[in-house]
Amino acid sequence: MDSSAPPRRITIVDVARHARVSTTAVSKVLRNAYGTSPAMRAKVQAAITELGYRPHAGARAMRGQTYTIGVMLPDLRNPFFPDILDGLTDHLRDTGYQVLLGPSHCNGEEAEAKVTEAMIDRGMDGLILVAPIAPRTHLEQIARLVPTVVVGRHGHSTAYDTVADDDTTGAKLVVDHLAGLGHRHIAHIEHHETNPTRLAEMPNAIRAEGYRAAMRAHGLEPDVVSTSYTREGGYLGAQQILTRPRRPSAIFAGADIVAIGVLEALTEAGLAVPAGISVAGYDNTNFAALGPISLTSVDQAGHHIGATAARLLLDRIADRTRPTAQVKLSPTLVVRRSTAGPPA
Amino acid sequence: MDSSAPPRRITIVDVARHARVSTTAVSKVLRNAYGTSPAMRAKVQAAITELGYRPHAGARAMRGQTYTIGVMLPDLRNPFFPDILDGLTDHLRDTGYQVLLGPSHCNGEEAEAKVTEAMIDRGMDGLILVAPIAPRTHLEQIARLVPTVVVGRHGHSTAYDTVADDDTTGAKLVVDHLAGLGHRHIAHIEHHETNPTRLAEMPNAIRAEGYRAAMRAHGLEPDVVSTSYTREGGYLGAQQILTRPRRPSAIFAGADIVAIGVLEALTEAGLAVPAGISVAGYDNTNFAALGPISLTSVDQAGHHIGATAARLLLDRIADRTRPTAQVKLSPTLVVRRSTAGPPA
DNA sequence: CGTGATGTGGGTAACGTTTTCTAATGTTGC
DNA sequence: GCAACATTAGAAAACGTTACCCACATCACG
């Protein structure tokens, strides 16, 4: 019945014939290229809408641009990333660029490489890599092939632009807040890292270092537990902290998702928050604001980060020789009900 | 210094020359096509790895497949969707297909259409649409152009396969649980829907209908409040319920995110959960398990849904004339601390 | 009235694959 | 020993678009 063969796609040739111009002319109109009169533009535009023509991205990929931007996200479960994505898409809304996401899924370096390769193979015009774990040389290699912006990773490169939160300041904000409330023993849960490059460039490592520096500035002794930036990491980290001979009066989790795991472990252990122990997170993800949770957290302005990344990428696509930029954005502390003075 | 022009891409011609065969031969080896001797396969494979060749997806899109599957997700913030995605990618891991995500971002029908069009324009071999809101005719139109699986939406089509949770059963599970605890007056908060097609196909409408049926089966009178599947919807819905002359002893929220809003309103009203009133949700999103929330909820087995969708899509890509399948998966109830017997 | 400069439009060759189609080999069946 | 058939390999024509030319007007300037 309805098993009619799919209709042949409308091509630029159909449009050209319908508008009685050359395919070159249509192509020029499509790309706002030089050499078209207003009259011709109107004719072509009319033909395009009348026929419902849409350019074939595959064919475009062979000669020019695909008007596609690839975004690599490491972990869809971390609610911070949608904030970045919102900023990105808001900024790219009316630019004619389409955003496609590559899920790397915490499967490590290999999965990440596969996704970036897939994006390059598909002729994407630009790449935004969020918190990539690949070695720096690999990132520079990618950036030489296609305009690239790296988000959420520190370190200067001449090949790609970067946008990151000032994690040192962020960690200091939390420590200052807790110390100001009277806490003397503040533990920190970090994402375990041994690779030397990443130790210098990844946000988790910078946050841990910022925490240590801030603690020492207050004359306090750092107490770091290494797990991972996941809910399980928070759960296990908190359990480990609870076995300490002297229990900390506050826990600074390196990410909100970690804080969630911490809260679970504390509830299980029968500890009230903040009466028995204070908890702070990082990222100010949307569930931090939820009534029953009400987590004190560091806000990274994810939306702003995403918008900045989009802007830098468009600039780089326009001019690949422009010197690279390193944008660092200042975080702010959002105090909620999960932090209070230490128990008497 | 490092400003060397990006090296020309390795093409199938390079591989052919290096292996001293024709480009046709290389293409055949790449696609496991008929007409290649083992000796030739070996030669070509060697040349491919030696040169580090990767096929150009754009060029492939012009003649054959792109080995890309597009997934449309409506809302990255709903923690239910990553579960589906995991199931998908697990199933597609070693098939040679690459998954790319299109963010539709709750921007409604128009944004959704833009994303699906973009995926079709990029020559994707198959589409997985998660909880699409487009009218049914539009979905069928898409499915005629490219193999498509629709996830999380009921309704039978001859053009696309569907995978969905049995929402009728899910709602019944909740009502049975609450009635079993002794509740007689159970209110339900639904996502308001007037569009007739969606009333018949969208999960929210089916859940509400399932609730009504289950209530009647227990000899109880349904009590439905229509707002939306958002936190605000839950908050407002609960406020509305609290003004009832006879206050319900339990609230069944159509989604976990709604239950969060309900909990906020109840906390404000000074009602204890579950001592004063019971609350149940739907989706078993990861924050339902959080200690401070501990929400009784219906689990949809997202991973299984995703894997099933992937399987159906691969089957359909292999044979587009195969009759369509409608898979319905059974949900389970996860009882937590937000539900208990009614107050005495 | 020549001479450039400028604006406007089109012809054509790529781009990197896959898909016929054809030719040249064996290989079988009688 | 010869037709019929399988197997293997390659040549060449698409696929839809853009980049690079070139051709033709028109116009300003001396």
Residues with Cβ within 8 Å of residue B40, at least 6 apart in sequence: B21, B25, B29
Q: How far apart are CA B52 and CA A299, in angstroms?
A: 43
Instruction: Tell me whether residues B58 and A56 touch, CB distance under 8 A.
Output: no
Which DSSP state fits B254?
Answer: S
Q: Is the dihedral of CA A58, A59, A61, A62 positive or negative?
A: positive
Interval A164-189 mean pLDDT: 97
Four-point Cα dihedral B266, B269, B273, B278, nearest 10: -60
Say if B101 is an interface residue toward chain A (CB within 8 Å).
yes
- CATH assignment, A12-54: 1.10.260.40
Least confident of A113-117, B75-79, B325-329: B75-79
Task: Specify the pTM.
Answer: 0.90
**Per-residue pLDDT tens over the stretch B114-127:** 999 999 999 999 99
φ/ψ of residue A112, rounded to 5: -60, -45
Mean pLDDT of A268-275: 91
Of the CATH numbers 3.30.470.20, 3.40.50.300, 3.40.50.2300, 3.40.630.190, which one belongs to the domain with range B65-165+302-329? 3.40.50.2300
> For the residues B25-53, what does the mean pLDDT come to?
93
Which residues, 6 or more positions from A321, have their beta carbon under 8 angstroms from its beta carbon?
B3
Sequence-distant contacts of B1-8: CB under 8 A, at least 24 apart:
B2/A140, B2/A144, B2/A158, B2/A159, B3/A321, B4/A144, B6/A144, B6/A145
Q: Do B82 and A77 touch (CB under 8 A)?
A: yes
Looking at chain A, which residue has its C-alpha nearest residue B86? A105
Bases of chain C below 7 A from a protein C-beta are 7-12, 14-20
What pLDDT, on the 0 to 100 scale, is given for residue A207? Answer: 96
pLDDT at A98: 95
Percent of chain B with pLDDT over 70: 97
Q: Is the pLDDT of residue B4 over 60?
A: no
Q: Which of A30-34, A221-225, A285-289, A299-303 has the lowest mean pLDDT?
A: A285-289
Name beta bridge partners: A253.
A189
Judge: domain A167-300, CATH 3.40.50.2300.
yes
Q: Over 80: is that where the pLDDT of A3 sits?
A: no
Mean pLDDT of chain B: 92
Average pLDDT taken over every residue of chain A: 92
Cross-sheet strand order for the sheet of B326-329? A326-329, A161-165, A148-151, A126-130, A68-73, A98-103, B98-103, B68-73, B126-130, B148-151, B161-165, B326-329
Instruction: Measure the CA dihedral B74/A124/A151/A76, to 10°.
Output: 30
Kindly state the DSSP code that residue A24 receives in the 8-state scheme.
Answer: H
* DSSP H or E segment with residue A110: helix A109-121
**Is the pLDDT confidence value at B57 over 90?**
yes
User: Quick check: B11 contacting A, CB < 8 Å?
Assistant: no
Cα separation values, A142 from A74, A110, B132, B236, Å: 17, 14, 34, 49
Phi, psi of A54, rounded to the nearest 5 degrees? -135, 135
The rounded percent of chain B whose pLDDT value lies above 90 is 79
Confidence check: pLDDT of B6 > 70 = no
Amino acid at B57: A
pLDDT in tens, B256-271: 989 999 998 998 899 9
State the pLDDT at residue A5. Answer: 60
Subunit contact A57:B123, Cβ cutoff 8 A: yes
Rounded to an integer, the average pLDDT of B92-99 is 92
Q: How far apart are the first and last CA of chain A?
A: 78
Is the preceding peptide bond at B7 cis, omega within 30 degrees of 0? no
Residue extent(s) of CATH 3.40.50.2300 domains in chain A: 65-165+302-329, 167-300
Q: Give the separation between CA A292 and CA A132, rounded to whole angstroms.
A: 33
**Residue B106: pLDDT band by 50, 70, 90 thresholds?**
low
The confidence band for B1, taking pLDDT boundaries of 50, 70 and 90, is very low
Task: Give the angle A116-A119-A125 at the CA atoms, nearest 5°.
Answer: 115
Q: In degrees, to the nearest 5, what angle opens at C-alpha A209 toward C-alphas A203 and A215?
A: 135
- Listed as ranges, the nucleotides of chain D within 7 A of a protein C-beta are 7-12, 14-20
Outline which parts of chain B fall under CATH 1.10.260.40.
12-54
**Tokens 């040192």 identify what position?**
A168
